[in-house]
Amino acid sequence: MRTKQRQTEFGFTNWGGKRRGAGRKPKGERAGVSHAKRPRLRASYPVLVTLRLCEGLPSLRYDDSHEVLKRAFAAGSEGEGFHVVEYSVQSNHVHLLAESRDERALARGMNGLTVRIARGLNRIWKRFGSVFADRYHARILRTPREVRIALVYTLQNARKHGAWVARRPDAYSSGPFFDGWRGGVRCMKRFLREARTWLLSIGWRRRGLIDPTEAPATG
């Protein structure tokens, strides 16, 4: 009961709601992301996006892979309709906090971003073929509480997986460039766009700044 309640309190709304026969059928160990039509997205709401690699590919938590991703995030955010604000890189998946004009701009922005990433990774891995296992998964964030939870989930995701235990922000994330840490953690000069939505720039801070060692909630 406690776990069920905690999951409910997480407050995220999944795109592509559960309904009979909807979405791509599961394959392998993980079900595919639903291919139901995505709901409308307002420009005032940030989005939490997850991308997963195909099985058997090298880990993303190496400097050369990370540089490919950083360049793609920066280049893919140059337009006015879509931009990445925060991110974290795990061995086989990536979490992004993004802002977009609407759901169509998000789809176009993510399509361009995944193409850039795939080309760059295939180049350094000296291979051809698919890089991402499925289309991206997205959650619309509508409240300051949801955004703060998503920030902790994204920036501190490596702590959840046991891949980062240092007191400083994860080097394979935008954590070193994030200015919302508690305790006066110094941040580096940003290479990504600043947040434009009230929720992701100001609103979440009303729920409290983030401790550098705070880990995402379980459940």
Segment 138-155 mean pLDDT = 98
Q: Residue 214: inside a domain, yes or no?
A: no
Q: Residue 18: inside a domain, yes or no?
A: no
Q: Residue 53: inside a domain, yes or no?
A: yes
Query: Of 44, 24, 42, 43, nearest to 34 (Cα)?
Result: 24
Per-residue confidence (pLDDT) for residue 38, from 0 to 100 = 64
If you average pLDDT over every residue of the chain, what do you get?
A: 86
Per-residue confidence (pLDDT) for residue 184, from 0 to 100 = 81
Which residue segment(s) compose the domain that 118 sits in? Answer: 2-13+33-207
Q: How many domains does the chain have?
A: 1
State pLDDT tens for residues 162-219: 999 999 999 999 999 999 999 888 899 999 999 999 999 999 999 999 999 999 987 5
pTM over 0.75: yes
Q: Print burial letters for 32-63: b (CB count within 10 Å at least 16), e (below 16).
A: bbbeeebeebeeebbbbbbbbbeeebeebbee
Segment 126-131 mean pLDDT = 96
Q: Residue 84: inside a domain, yes or no?
A: yes
34 has a pLDDT exceeding 60: no
Q: Residue 218: inside a domain, yes or no?
A: no
Q: Residue 217: inside a domain, yes or no?
A: no
Q: Residue 86: inside a domain, yes or no?
A: yes
CATH of residue 133's domain is 3.30.70.1290
